[in-house]
Amino acid sequence: MMAQQVFANAQKDGRHPLENWDEVKTAYHVARKGTVSGAAEALGVHHATVIRHIDALEARLGVKLFQRHARGYTPTEAGEDLLRVAQATDDQFSQLAGRIKGRGSEVSGDLVVTSLASLAPQVVPVLTEFQKAHPDVIVRFLTGDRLFRLEYAEAHVAIRAGAPPDQPDNVVQPFLKQPTAAYASQAYIDRYGLPKGPEEYGKHRFVGPARDDSRAPFYIWLRENVPASAVTFRCSDLLSAEMAVIAGAGIGFFAQRDASQHPDLVEVAAPRPEWTSPLWLVTHVDLHRTTKVQTLLRFLKDYAKDLQA
């Protein structure tokens, strides 16, 4: 019986006759080995499972695929027809697995990294250096106050500030500690002078957060130590706040490394431990061990070591 006739008979009940690949794969190994025991060993299953798969497949197709005899199983004409297709399919699966495995060992394709926009001055240069070392990578750097969902594969690596993230199934590793100080532009100092100490902060102008519930360590300190009336310029994100300080709107906070890039900034107050905002490298457990992610994590950790050396 030709394969087309077999399939037509088997599809009368509305089901595809080859919907169970495990059964077809079992039949393929029985044909290769010639015995139930040989197929069971190759598949790592019990011989009863092999027999059950062959019986179920023959029942669904409505035709015998093997002649049983004392020495084992020999494919019938219908069996030979089916097994040619099964062998081609198995070969294609093997080739696909090889291609996927090869991709998994490459550092190429999209690499999505997310952080707060205020971290861009630190993150963008290191991602640029990473791409120089791995030119086949397409970097996608996503910023914003929204937490991108790693469990939904919205990003490969997140760089987050503050308290260590506690979302389930995330791998969290320390990255950097950012000594943070208070700064003002020379233009601000020319106009308002420098405060002699905390007792004069109420007489000055500060750049702060738009919301009173900011969790940034330095903004918590600002809330507790500076009158709200002195926070005269408020921003919804840290990058805008830094730009406001540079423009002369008031006294504000910078990581020391970022402030060093702006010669016009003058340190108003030295870094305090309670202003320090630790950075964390966050990955999802499903992607953490991939070659691409591990390569980037090593690169970022080496970068952090060089900065803190």
- Residue at 283 is within a domain: no
83 C-beta neighbours (distance < 10 Å), count? 21
As a whole number of angstroms, the distance between CA 109 and CA 293 comes to 12
254 C-beta neighbours (distance < 10 Å), count? 25
- Residue at 285 is within a domain: no
As a whole number of angstroms, the distance between CA 268 and CA 263 comes to 14
Residue 108, pLDDT score: 83
**Pair 81, 157 in one domain:** no
- Residue at 280 is within a domain: no
Residue 12, pLDDT score: 47
**Pair 124, 61 in one domain:** no
- Residue at 194 is within a domain: yes
Number of domains in the chain: 3
As a whole number of angstroms, the distance between CA 83 and CA 61 comes to 13
Question: Does residue 13 sit in helix, strand or coil?
Answer: helix
Contacts of 80 (CB under 8 A, 6+ apart): none
Residue 86, pLDDT score: 76
**Pair 26, 150 in one domain:** no
The domain in which residue 248 lies consists of 180-275
Residue 286, pLDDT score: 84
**Pair 204, 130 in one domain:** no
**Pair 197, 261 in one domain:** yes
- Residue at 284 is within a domain: no
Cα separations (Å) of 188 from 185, 192, 199, 243, 252?
5, 6, 19, 13, 11
The answer to whether the predicted template modeling score (pTM) of the entire model surpasses 0.85 is no
**Pair 12, 97 in one domain:** yes
**Pair 136, 196 in one domain:** no
Residue 151, domain CATH: 3.40.190.10
Residue 5, pLDDT score: 45
**Pair 35, 61 in one domain:** yes
Residue 104, pLDDT score: 52
Closest of 210, 288, 207, 292 to residue 254, by C-alpha: 207
240 C-beta neighbours (distance < 10 Å), count? 15
Residue 214, pLDDT score: 86
Mean pLDDT for each consecutive 10-residue tract of the chain (309 residues)?
A: 43 50 85 88 87 89 88 87 76 58 66 87 91 93 82 86 81 90 96 92 95 88 94 92 96 91 94 89 90 93 79
